[in-house]
Structure 1
Amino acid sequence: MIVITAPTGQIGRRLVDTLLDAGAPVRLIARDPARLPARVHESAEIVQGTHSDKDVLTKALANADGVFWLVPPTPTAPSVEGHFDAFTRPFCEAVTETGVGHVVGVSSLGRTVARNAGQISATVTMDRMIEATGVSYRALEMPGFMDNMLWNVPSLKAEGVFTSAIDPDRKEPSVATRDIAAVAARLLLDTTWDGQEGVQVLGPEDISANDMARVMSDVLERPIRCRRISPEEYGAALTSHGATEAWARGLVDMMTAIDRDGIYHAEPRTPDSRTPTTFRQWCEEVLKPVIHS
C-alpha cells in the first residue's frame, strides 16, 4: 500500500494517476475528497482529513509500505517554521508507531548549504526530523517548478509580462512537476532501496527568466518580457494577496539565497538527475493551452 499526501496538488494528482495506471494499491489523505476525480474514488482508498492530524496519519499509514510526503505551502501560516513543524512532528510519530518502511519527501535543492533561506531552511529541518525516525528516506531535491509560471497567467494574458525577484539573466535549473511525479512513482513502486539520501531532480537545462521570456514569445506568438522586481516589491505583492508577513519574509529570504548565494547550483546535473521535459515543451503542452483557453 502506498500513501499519498496532498493528492490534489500539482505533483500529487500526477503521482496518483501514475500509480493507478501501474496497478498499485493507493491510499490518499484528502481534506476534501470531493475534489478528487471519479476514477480515484473508484480505485483508491481515501482517508478524509488533514495530514497534520496524528490520528488521520496513523489511520492512513497502517500497513503501508511507502509514503509520498509533502508539506503544503500555506501563505496564511503565521510562522514558516511552525507550519512545517505542525505537519512533520505528528508524521514522524506516526511513521515510528506504524513501522512504515519507506518515505519519499518533497524537499529542495540547496538543502546541504542553505542558511537563512526561508522555506528552504524549514524544509531542511523537516528532512532531519524524518531522518531521525530511522525510516528509509529519499528527499527529492528540486529547484523552481516550471508550473509556477501558471501563477502569472493573468499578467501574461493582459500585458505579456511576468515578474522575477531573481536576476533575469541568471540561469537556474527548472523542473516540470510531471517529471517530479515520475521520479516519486519510480521510488515508491520499487522499494528495494534503503538508507537516507537526497535525489536531485534538476530538469534538462539551466534557463534564465529572460530565456523563458524568449521561449514563451516564440511558443505563444506574442511578445513576452520579464520585469525584475526588488525583494521588497516581491514581499509586498505577496502580502497584498493575503500572505502573512512571516510567509512573505520566508519567500523573500529564499529568493535572496537563490540569487545571492547560488544554492541551486550546489549539486551538478548528472544523467541520473536530468529529467526530460524542457521549458519549451512545457510551454507547448501546458502553458499554451491555458493561455488560449
Structure 2
Amino acid sequence: MKIAITTSQGNVGQHLTRMLIRAGVRPLLLSRDPENIATAVAEHVDLVQADSHDPDQVVSATAGVDAIYWVDPSTDSPDPLGDYRRATESIVASVEANRIERVVFQSSVGAEKRHGAGEIDGLAETEVALDACDVDVTHLRCGFFFTNLLLDLASIKSGRLQTVLPLDSPMSWVAPRDIAEVAALILLNPEWSGRHVRAIHGPEDLTWSQAATIISEELGREVHVEHISDAQMRVQYLQMGMSPGMADAILGMSAGLREGFEPEQNRSVLTTTPTRLRTWIHEELIPLL
C-alpha cells in the first residue's frame, strides 16, 4: 500500500509520518519545501515537491498512490476560502486522475454546518467535493487543537489569555498526536469502504475557564482568561499582520460555533482520545516557555 501525506511537517502530519514509518510503511510526503524535512525522517520516506494549491503538481505527485491523508493547507491570504477551493480542486483532480482508492481528510468540528463557520466553510467544501467523487473517504471532524495555544505564547507568559468564545461553554479539545493515531489506524485498515465521518473529541470537553485553571496549575502561576468582543479580537489579528480576509475567516469560526451549535457527532468511545491537556502542557508547552 502506497500512502501519501500532505503537510507532513504540520501539527498532525509530523506525528502521522513517524507512526507510519514505525508501522513499516514508507510514506510519500508531498511538500512545498522537501529540503526542510529532517534527515532522520527523509531516510524512511519518499519525497516529492508539490504545492497543494496546484492541481497539476498534486496529480503528478500522487500517481500510483493507494491512499492519501489530505489536509487543506493553512493560508494567510486576502482570500482564504479561495485558497481552500484551490486545494479542493487539487485533491479532487488527483482522486479522479490517479484512481486513488482511499482518502482520509482532516476536517473540523463545525464542517457539518456547511455554511456560516468562517474558515471551516472551506473544509466543508472539501468534504462535499470528496463525497461527490468515486472514492472511499473518511472525514476526521477534529476538535480544538491543544497546539492552538502555541500561537499565543506571549499571552501565556504574561498570564492573560483572551477569547471571543464564552468562557463557560464546554467544547472538545484534542492533541494533534491523537488525531494522527486515529488517521494512521484508518489508513492502515483495508477493511472499510464508502463515506464515513469520525469525530475526534479528545479526552474531555473543557471550557476556556477550565483550560485556564489547568494551565495555571501546571505552570505553577496564574493564567487568566478573559472574554473580548469580535471587534477587539479583529483589531489584534490585523495588528499581528493578518489580512482582513483571514481575520474575518478566523473570527467566523468562533461566531459560527458559539450560537447554539450542536456537533453532529456525540462524544463516544470512538471519538474520545487519551491525551489530556495536562500531559500535553508538560510535553509540549512548558519546554517552549
| TM-score scaled by length of structure 2 | 0.96
Kindly state the Cα deviation for residue 110 of structure 1 after the two structures are TM-superposed. Answer: 2.4
Kindly state the Cα deviation for residue 156 of structure 1 after the two structures are TM-superposed. Answer: 1.4
C-alpha distance in 2, partners of 1:120/1:112? 9
Which residue number in structure 2 is paired with residue 133 of structure 1?
133
Which residue number in structure 1 is paired with residue 281 of structure 2?
283
- Aligned residue for 2:92, secondary structure, equals helix
- Aligned residue for 2:183, secondary structure, equals helix
C-alpha distance in 1, partners of 2:217/2:137? 41
Cα pair distance change 1:40/1:56, threshold 3 Å = farther
Residues 250-284 of structure 1 show CA distances to partners (whole Å, capped at 9, x for unaligned) of: 11121011111324x33210001100011112112
Amino acid at match of 2:284: V
User: Is the CA contact 1:5–1:70 (under 8 Å) kept in the aligned structure 2?
Assistant: yes
User: Is the CA contact 1:137–1:196 (under 8 Å) kept in the aligned structure 2?
Assistant: yes
Structure 1 stretch 55-64 or stretch 97-106: which is displaced more?
55-64
Residues 51-91 of structure 1 show CA distances to partners (whole Å, capped at 9, x for unaligned) of: 2222321222111111000011112x222321111111122
Which residue number in structure 2 is paired with residue 20 of structure 1?
21
Q: Does 1:274 align with 2:280?
A: no
Amino acid at match of 2:32: R
Kindly state the Cα deviation for residue 39 of structure 1 after the two structures are TM-superposed. Answer: 1.8
Which residue number in structure 1 is paired with residue 183 of structure 2?
184
C-alpha distance in 2, partners of 1:71/1:217? 33
Structure 1 stretch 211-220 or stretch 110-119: which is displaced more?
110-119
- Aligned residue for 2:139, secondary structure, equals strand
C-alpha distance in 1, partners of 2:156/2:112? 35
Amino acid at match of 2:13: G
C-alpha distance in 1, partners of 2:235/2:266? 34
- Aligned residue for 1:19, secondary structure, equals helix
Specify every segment of 5 or more residues in structure 1 that has no aligned partner in the other structure, as ranges.
none
Which residue number in structure 2 is paired with residue 39 of structure 1?
40
- Aligned residue for 1:105, secondary structure, equals strand
| TM-score scaled by length of structure 1 | 0.94
Which residue number in structure 2 is paired with residue 5 of structure 1?
6
User: Is the CA contact 1:5–1:30 (under 8 Å) kept in the aligned structure 2?
Assistant: yes
C-alpha distance in 2, partners of 1:205/1:21? 28
Which residue number in structure 2 is paired with residue 170 of structure 1?
169
Kindly state the Cα deviation for residue 139 of structure 1 after the two structures are TM-superposed. Answer: 0.5
C-alpha distance in 2, partners of 1:252/1:96? 34
User: Is the CA contact 1:142–1:175 (under 8 Å) kept in the aligned structure 2?
Assistant: yes
C-alpha distance in 2, partners of 1:203/1:41? 30
Kindly state the Cα deviation for residue 227 of structure 1 after the two structures are TM-superposed. Answer: 2.1
Amino acid at match of 1:127: E
Amino acid at match of 2:183: A
Kindly state the Cα deviation for residue 114 of structure 1 after the two structures are TM-superposed. Answer: 4.6
Q: Does 1:123 align with 2:123?
A: yes
User: Is the CA contact 2:53–2:83 (under 8 Å) kept in the aligned structure 1?
Assistant: no
Residues 203-230 of structure 1 show CA distances to partners (whole Å, capped at 9, x for unaligned) of: 1111011111111111111111112221
Amino acid at match of 1:90: S
Which residue number in structure 2 is paired with residue 211 of structure 1?
210
Residues 7-56 of structure 1 show CA distances to partners (whole Å, capped at 9, x for unaligned) of: 11111111101111111121111111122111222111100121222232
Amino acid at match of 1:55: D
User: Is the CA contact 1:203–1:275 (under 8 Å) kept in the aligned structure 2?
Assistant: yes
User: Is the CA contact 1:214–1:224 (under 8 Å) kept in the aligned structure 2?
Assistant: yes
User: Is the CA contact 1:52–1:91 (under 8 Å) kept in the aligned structure 2?
Assistant: no
User: Is the CA contact 2:5–2:30 (under 8 Å) kept in the aligned structure 1?
Assistant: yes
How does 1:88-99 map onto structure 2 within 5 Å? 88-99=88-99
Specify every segment of 5 or more residues in structure 2 that has no aligned partner in the other structure, as ranges.
none
Which residue number in structure 2 is paired with residue 253 of structure 1?
252
Amino acid at match of 1:275: T
